[in-house]
Amino acid sequence: MKIAIDTPKEEILKIGSECKLCGSCCRFGSGFVLEEEIPVIAASLNHDIRSFKEHFLEEIELFNTKAWKFKTVKEEGKPYGHCMFLDGNVCKIHKVKPLHCRVSTCDAEHGDAINAWFLVNHFVNPDDPESVRQYHAYIKTGGLVIEGAELEHLVPDRSRLKKILDYTLLK
């Protein structure tokens, strides 16, 4: 199956849902948590939202969009670490883990495309010139672009896209 920007979430879940419980996906980082997923995960851990964010999440920015990731446990001397919810090879919150974690499995055939689908559907904002510029940089540095997520599709007005990319249009 070819994954495109408009592939329904239900299809993405079917493709990316087979977790082999190997722990590889969580050993060198953690998944993104969407704002609407926070209350469910917080409740499952008996935390209020504020406390959950404080203890378990770190705020990040990607494509000029603020988001959340689970904190990681960094190994000494290394810039990375495993997700704080990884216990051996198993996720401690497997039953309530967020969409990104549910679909970002070790699927060699679709893994990169699923991740690109998630990024473009949850972080790239075609109405925000800075988001478009950062996505453009991602593409120029080798980031995978799925069908329908080309800049010309996201910003179909060529004149507007040119103004965004040459910094004539800032906001």
Tokens describing residue 8: 């329904």
Length of the chain: 171
Is beta strand 65-70 parallel, antiparallel or unpaired with respect to 32-33?
A: antiparallel
pTM value?
Answer: 0.90
* pLDDT at 107 (0 to 100): 66
Which region among 52-66, 94-108, 153-167 has the lowest average model confidence (pLDDT)? 94-108
Q: What is the CA radius of gyration of the chain?
A: 17
Confidence (pLDDT) at 21: 74
Query: End-to-end distance of the chain based on CA atoms, in angstroms?
Result: 37
All structural domains of the chain with their residue ranges: 10-107, 124-171
Q: Specify the pLDDT at position 100.
A: 93
Closest to 161 in 3D by CA, of 123, 133, 134: 133
Tell me the per-residue pLDDT of 2-50, one tens digit each, with 9 for 90 and over: 999 999 999 998 887 677 777 778 888 899 999 999 999 999 999 999 9
Q: pLDDT (tens digit, 9 = 90+) per residue, 76-123? A: 888 889 999 999 888 999 899 999 998 887 666 788 899 999 999 999
Specify the pLDDT at position 110: 84
Q: Is 41:98 a contact under the CB 8 Å cutoff?
A: yes
Closest CA to 118 of 24, 12, 18: 12
Strand, helix or coil at 4? strand
- Looking at residue 141, what is its pLDDT? 97
Hunting for tokens 């603020």 — which residue is that? 66
